[in-house]
Amino acid sequence: MGLGFMARLVVIGGGAAGMAAASRAKRLNKNLDVVVIEKTRYVSFALCGIPYYVGCTVKTLDDLLFYPPEEFTKKRGIRILFETTATKIDVGARKVYYVDKNGREGEIDFDYLVLALGARSKAPKIWPEIREAENAFYISHLHSADEIRSYALHLPRHSKAVLVGAGYVGLELAENLSNLGMKVTLVEATPQVAPRALDPDLAAIVEEHLKSKGVEIIKEAPVKEFKIVDGKAKAIVTDKGEIEGDLFVVGVGIEPNVDLAREAGVKIGETGAIWTDDHMRTNIEGVYAVGDAVEHTDLVTGKRVWRPFAQIANKMGYVAGSNIGGREAVFPGSVGTSTFKTFDMIVARTGLSKAEAERNGFKPVEVKLEAGTRAHYIPGGTRITLKVVADEDTGRLLGAQAVGASETVLWRINVVASLLTTKATVWDLFTSDLGYAPPLAPVWDPLIIAARLLMRKLGEKPRKA
């Protein structure tokens, strides 16, 4: 190894998960030689902040870095090979082969390997014609944000932005491009906005809010192709006709980036993402995988799922780094908590919807309510719409969704998420000792009211397991 190091850890991918693994392992074992191979010039980046960079809320791309590179190279003693692409892994020889930005090839030995390969957009596969369009974009890395913002800022005010997909990215970009003075049209293949996050009735609340902000929404309009003229996208072609625009952004269709892992013999799970155990170990000794290319266990259903969420990726990296560094840790799984904000509307969910619960073999019961977020006599409060789902046979909580103009939408869903992690029941929710103060929450919190409504159906007395 040289330099007095006893073993080497190579991390492929310098995103949040990869750098969490590298940093944790190095912190626990100073004698570990840690090398990160990163294909861009950035590490420890927050892709979730891209819509806010596009809308100029975030001023520079460097602001989207959790830490500057010097934090890792100078303070933590981690070597980073920037603008370098791993091309092959030989697990038998314990080598990673790579090529740098100048085309120079190289190889590096490893004792431990972490695959932090991330996810990638399927847009260029689905619509290969967008590769030749200077005004059609999809998010692949931080530089995508620069490209979108630069193009948007050079367009005349009130130019038209067409967003393909009304999921998290599309809805966040709708707000941020509107803030730049653009007219925004959302084009969604399904019958509702936020199809992965919300039931149709709650999605309708979000849709009305978007319309009130001037966003045009075209649903049940899957995109067949992009119409390209002289190197620019002029329109998208759908069953509802052609939709013209000046700027196009695809916000749908990602997949785990597993090619390198598959070629090396790493097991790919049933979801199409990399399989690991709860220590983040793959099927190959000394090889770990973390982040958006990795599947894990759903703690509500017990099934394997792929959830490319930042909070999950960071935890995976921490757990892998701990195990490599000599301190045992586990990542048991997740319950599927997610949230986003679009204009003044906050959306959050966790666990299963009623329909999802039925598909997974539960006998679900659901309640829905609208309630205030402060005591009624305190001015300035807002109202939220909340759904909570439980299993009729056991009273076990299964999921929740909420929308509203209050940030408390998220913390209320986070309460349910924590209870889901422990397989808690409706009666556990009712007895949860939630904080109360008139300017902050009503004495009968919406969550407690939801529990009471469920108890009308399930009974007041907790059932024995």
Return the active site residues: 48
Helix, strand, coil shares of the chain, percent, nearest 5, are 30, 30, 40
Instruction: Give the integer Cα–Cα distance in Å for 326 and 51.
Output: 38
Tell me if residue 366 falls in helix, strand or coil. strand
- Across the beta sheet with 95-100, what order do the strands follow? 84-90, 95-100, 105-109
Q: Are 364 and 398 in contact (CB under 8 A)?
A: yes
- Output the DSSP codes for 211-248: HHTT-EEE-S--EEEEEEETTEEEEEEETTEEEE-SEE
Both tokens assigned to 61: 């791309």
Closest CA to 200 of 321, 355, 343: 355
| Exposed/middle/buried for residue 425 (C-beta within 10 Å: 0-12, 13-18, 19+) | buried
Q: Are 186 and 203 in contact (CB under 8 A)?
A: no
Beta strands in 15-93 (DSSP E): 32-37, 79-81, 84-90
Radius of gyration of the chain (CA): 24
| Exposed/middle/buried for residue 162 (C-beta within 10 Å: 0-12, 13-18, 19+) | buried
Closest CA to 245 of 166, 151, 145, 146: 151
Strands 223-229 and 232-238: antiparallel
Per this entry, what is the length of the chain? Answer: 465
Q: What values do phi and psi take at 3, rounded to 5?
A: 55, 15
Beta strands in 49-197 (DSSP E): 79-81, 84-90, 95-100, 105-109, 112-115, 119-121, 136-138, 160-164, 183-187
